[in-house]
Amino acid sequence: MIGSIGNIHCSLRNLASGSYPRDLEIQKEGGAPDFSSCIISYLLSDELIFPNQTFNLCMNAIPKTVFVPMLIIKKGTMDIGFYNKAFGAIELRRWSNEDGSVHVAEFSIDGAMFHLHEEAPESGSCSPETNRAVTTTIGLMVTDVDAIIARALAAGAKLASPAQDYDYGYRQGEVLDPFGHHWLIEKTI
């Protein structure tokens, strides 16, 4: 279980997305690697970068306000690998239902966090597939719009609008992910 930001204490043992033999603890103390880097380094390595040490997180490095979109997916969704294949997103943690379907998943794309959450029509949150519409487009600023669009299409996205340069100084193209969410892939030119 990963604790609250207040007294940051993280344990990565027995997460639903995998089983880890080690724990990683992060405590609120000054001047160390940032949270996302620690988690990502931990998940991708066989050993901790700093074995037998506690990672310290400087809370002053975290902005007071951070925008973290929550994308709604249909109940019963099992495969959310699209986000890694298309955008290089790293799954930080997941809560699964008893049948193994995704209840909530947390991802990071280059340190920008977002969540997937199964729909809950009783509280007004429905997936784009259920509504057959979206109310939000997720903008993803990248260095190579065409390469990311090609990668997303190869991972299962549908092209909504091809990449092109606009007179307001952006190159943009739009894809629909397999769950119906619109992604505006863009960069300044």
Q: DSSP class of residue 46?
A: S
> Do residues 182 and 164 share a domain?
yes
**pLDDT score recorded for residue 9:** 35
> Do residues 122 and 183 share a domain?
yes
> Do residues 97 and 172 share a domain?
yes
Report the phi/psi class of residue 84: left, alpha or beta, with left for phi > 0 and alpha for psi in -120 to 50. alpha
Amino acid in the structure at residue 135: T
Task: Tell me the residue length of the chain.
Answer: 189
> Do residues 118 and 177 share a domain?
yes
Q: Which residues contact 162 (CB under 8 A, 6 or more apart)?
A: 149, 173
Domain boundary among 20, 35, 63: 63
**pLDDT score recorded for residue 50:** 37
Number of domains in the chain: 2
- Residue 11 domain boundaries: 1-63
**pLDDT score recorded for residue 156:** 97
**pLDDT score recorded for residue 86:** 97
> Do residues 25 and 80 share a domain?
no
> Do residues 117 and 90 share a domain?
yes
Rounded average pLDDT per 10-residue block, the chain, 189 residues:
35 37 38 47 42 40 76 96 97 96 96 95 91 91 97 98 96 97 96
Report the phi/psi class of residue 147: left, alpha or beta, with left for phi > 0 and alpha for psi in -120 to 50. alpha
Question: What is the C-alpha separation between 76 and 119, in angstroms, rounded?
Answer: 10
Please give the helix or strand (H or E) that residue 86 lies within, else none.
helix 82-87
Domain boundary among 42, 63, 84: 63
Question: What is the C-alpha separation between 51 and 21, in angstroms, rounded?
Answer: 13
Question: What is the C-alpha separation between 44 and 88, in angstroms, rounded?
Answer: 13
Cα–Cα nearest to 129, from 119, 137, 138: 119
**pLDDT score recorded for residue 58:** 40
What are the b/e assignments for 87-104, b being 16+ CB within 10 Å?
Answer: bebbbbbbeeeeeebbbb
Burial of 79 (0-12, 13-18, 19+ CB in 10 A): exposed
Q: Which residues contact 58 (CB under 8 A, 6 or more apart)?
A: 29, 30, 31, 32, 34
Give the distance, in angstroms, between the CA of residue 18 and the centroid of all CA atoms in the same chain: 17
> Do residues 109 and 59 share a domain?
no
> Do residues 87 and 152 share a domain?
yes
> Do residues 119 and 53 share a domain?
no
Task: Kindly report the CATH number assigned to the domain that includes residue 172.
Answer: 3.10.180.10
Domain boundary among 63, 91, 114: 63
> Do residues 52 and 83 share a domain?
no
> Do residues 131 and 180 share a domain?
yes
> Do residues 96 and 146 share a domain?
yes
